[in-house]
């Protein structure tokens, strides 16, 4: 997190909006009726839902520049490394905890996950920030994207060959099947969307944020910073689209073009937030997002735990059958008043409002749970 001295309200607001969007797309009334933009793209291409995770990693990169650079001025490198390792281990542990909650079946626990990827991306991006300057960070970003491109298109997979990017038949899936067999997301089984090899370009997504943080910490005027981010964002989005002719934009395997395009989109959005909030001074509209952003990881973890808890507890029906508390709320409160797709979306919106009330209560009491 940025220090209070250098804290950007725009960054807190953008983080909060991203977490709210993450909770929203993760919590429909039922996954059987979800608007296309609120569901992940089946394979190539992208939807609104696909923008959320890379945007959060981008924000992690921006934040860690402020955090690490400020601590370098007041702490020894040993203490900073301990903090990096501690935060990484906490994120990994929280991710594994959520993958087992509420049943705690350890033998077949899914090892990868959203928080695990955030933890790994944070660790490696922090290591690059600690050991390199801006030029080294840029070179690291290019090497990560290029190496993943080469792996996915040129390393042959046994009995399949090289350059195949189909579900479960690509190099990333092959590595997952060798190392993570029995511990991947059960929806796919033979590969994981947060697998090992595809974490490489996810680190690159974080480094895009790191370079943006370097730009924001520069001596340029706030207006120049906002304009520069908007221009860079547009260039990256165009570059991602052009390069997608050779490697498609795909979140499932986090292709290099996906990393480039989504970094451009995040840059463009942050440029607007920075201009509107930090330059023009329009802050009141962003207050709800700032409140969310101050406890971002806590809100994400709580949203998963509450949702799974509502699924876990069952209510008895008059005919002797049972229904989860979550489904009962959905079918009783939302289904009778809207078509199936709208009802599912309204449930997600209501759930975001519930989580905002929790975030607001924590903010009022000054409970800021920092990982």
Domain ranges of the chain: 1-39+282-371, 52-275
CA dist., res. 105 & res. 65, Å (int): 38
Three-state DSSP state, 157: strand
| Confidence at residue 3, expressed as pLDDT on a 0 to 100 scale | 38
d(CA 6, CA 290): 15
What is the C-alpha to C-alpha distance for residues 88 and 64, in angstroms, rounded to an integer? 13
What lies within 8 Å, CB to CB, of 365 at 6+ separation is none
Given this model, what pLDDT does residue 194 score? 94
139 phi/psi in degrees, rounded to 5: -60, -45
In angstroms, the CA 288 to CA 13 distance is 8
Residues 6+ apart with CB under 8 A from 15: 56, 59, 63, 289, 292, 293, 296
Q: Which tokens in the block code for residue 113?
A: 């996950």
Structure tokens at 50: 């696909």
Give the per-residue pLDDT at 309.
Answer: 96
Residue 75 confidence (pLDDT): 66
Residue that the structure tokens 């990393």 belong to = 259
Give the residue ranges of DSSP H helices in 132-255. Answer: 134-154, 171-179, 199-216, 222-243
The predicted structure's pLDDT at residue 103: 87
What the block records as the tokens of 42 is: 């089946």
Cα–chain center distance at 199:
12
For residues 112 and 91, is the Cβ–Cβ distance under 8 A?
no
**Between vectors from CA 185 to CA 343 and to CA 254, what angle results, nearest 5°?**
85
CB atoms within 10 A of CB 12: 24
Helix (H, G, I), strand (E, B) or coil at 316: strand
Q: How many CA atoms lie within 13 A of 230 on its CB side?
A: 12
Cα–Cα dist 314/57, whole Å = 36
Name the residue with tokens 């290099």.
256
Beta strands in 80-183, from DSSP E residues, in sequence order: none
Res 5: pLDDT: 43
Question: For the chain, which ranges sit under pLDDT 70?
Answer: 1-7, 70-75
Burial per residue of 310-325, b for 16 or more beta-carbon CB atoms within 10 angstroms, e otherwise: beeeeeeeeeeeeeee
Q: pLDDT tens-digit profile of 49-59?
A: 999 999 999 99
CB atoms within 10 A of CB 241: 14
- The verdict on whether omega for the bond into residue 102 sits within 30 degrees of 0, i.e. cis, is yes
Strand-pair category, 322-324 with 314-316: antiparallel
Cα angle 108, 100, 34 (rounded to 5 degrees) comes to 100
Cβ(61)–Cβ(210) below 8 Å? yes
Helix, strand or coil, per DSSP, at residue 213: helix
Specify whether the backbone of 28 is left (phi greater than 0), alpha (psi in -120 to 50) or beta.
Answer: beta
Q: In this predicted model, what pLDDT tens digit does every residue of 116-158 receive, in sequence order?
A: 999 999 999 999 999 999 999 999 999 999 999 999 999 999 9
């Amino acid at each position: 997190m940025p220090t209070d001295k250098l804290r950007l309200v725009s960054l807190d607001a953008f983080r909060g909006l991203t977490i709210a969007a993450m909770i929203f797309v993760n919590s429909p009334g039922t996954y059987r009726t979800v608007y296309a933009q609120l569901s992940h793209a089946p394979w190539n291409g992208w939807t609104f839902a696909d923008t959320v995770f890379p945007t959060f990693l981008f924000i992690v990169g921006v934040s860690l520049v402020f955090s690490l650079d400020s601590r370098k001025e007041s702490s020894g490198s040993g203490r900073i490394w301990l903090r990096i390792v501690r935060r990484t281990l906490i994120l990994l542990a929280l991710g594994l905890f959520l993958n087992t909650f509420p049943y705690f079946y350890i033998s077949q626990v899914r090892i990868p996950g959203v928080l695990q990827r955030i933890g790994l991306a944070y660790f490696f991006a922090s290591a690059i920030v600690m050991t390199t300057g801006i030029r080294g960070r840029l070179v690291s970003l290019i090497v990560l994207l290029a190496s993943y491109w080469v792996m996915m298109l040129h390393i042959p997979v046994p009995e399949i060959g090289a350059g195949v990017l189909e579900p479960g038949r690509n190099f990333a899936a092959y590595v997952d099947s060798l190392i993570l067999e029995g511990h991947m997301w059960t929806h796919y089984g033979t590969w994981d969307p947060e697998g090992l090899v595809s974490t490489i370009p996810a680190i690159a997504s974080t480094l895009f944020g790191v370079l943006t943080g370097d730009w924001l910490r520069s001596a340029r005027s706030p207006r120049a910073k906002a304009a520069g981010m908007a221009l860079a964002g547009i260039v990256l989005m165009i570059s991602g689209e052009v390069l997608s002719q050779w490697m498609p934009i795909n979140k499932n395997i986090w292709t290099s073009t996906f990393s480039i395009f989504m970094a451009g989109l995040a840059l463009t959005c942050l440029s607007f937030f920075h201009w509107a909030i930090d330059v023009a001074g329009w802050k009141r509209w962003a207050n709800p997002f700032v409140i969310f952003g101050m406890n971002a990881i806590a809100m994400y973890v709580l949203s998963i735990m509450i949702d799974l808890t509502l699924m876990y507890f069952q209510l008895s029906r008059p005919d002797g059958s049972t229904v989860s508390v979550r489904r009962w709320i959905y079918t009783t409160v939302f289904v009778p008043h809207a078509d199936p797709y709208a009802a599912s979306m309204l449930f997600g919106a209501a759930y975001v409002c519930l989580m905002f009330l929790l975030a607001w209560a924590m903010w009022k009491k000054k409970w800021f749970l920092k990982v």
